[in-house]
Structure 1
Amino acid sequence: MDLGAIVEPLIAFFSDGIGKVIADALRLIYNVLYPANAPAATPIEIPR
């Protein structure tokens, strides 16, 4: 099974036209939900 034969049409679709619009919209949603400047997770102490 040639992975390149499967991936190549997907890359071509998301490179221009409506595929690029879809990819940009999904990228925007991802960036809104998972911002790059979010604070790092830190452990909190649980009171006893």
Structure 2
Amino acid sequence: MDFNVIINPIIEFFSTDFGAMVAQIGRTLFDLLFPANTDAAVVNAG
């Protein structure tokens, strides 16, 4: 199986106008839902 056949259209989509806009919206939503400046998860074992 040639992964380039699968990956190249996806990369091309996210490089074009509409695909780049979709990717930017996805990045923005990810940044809002999972901010990088939060504390790490802590497991209370006791």
TM-score (norm 1): 0.81
Q: Spell out structure 1 runs of 4+ moving beyond 4 A.
A: none
> Whose helix proportion is higher, 1 or 2?
2
% identical aligned pairs: 37
* Structure 2, gaps ≥5 residues long: none
Q: Which has the larger radius of gyration?
A: 1
Partner of 2:10: 10
Q: How many residues align?
A: 46
Q: Give 1:41 deviation, angstroms.
A: 1.4
TM-score (norm 2): 0.84
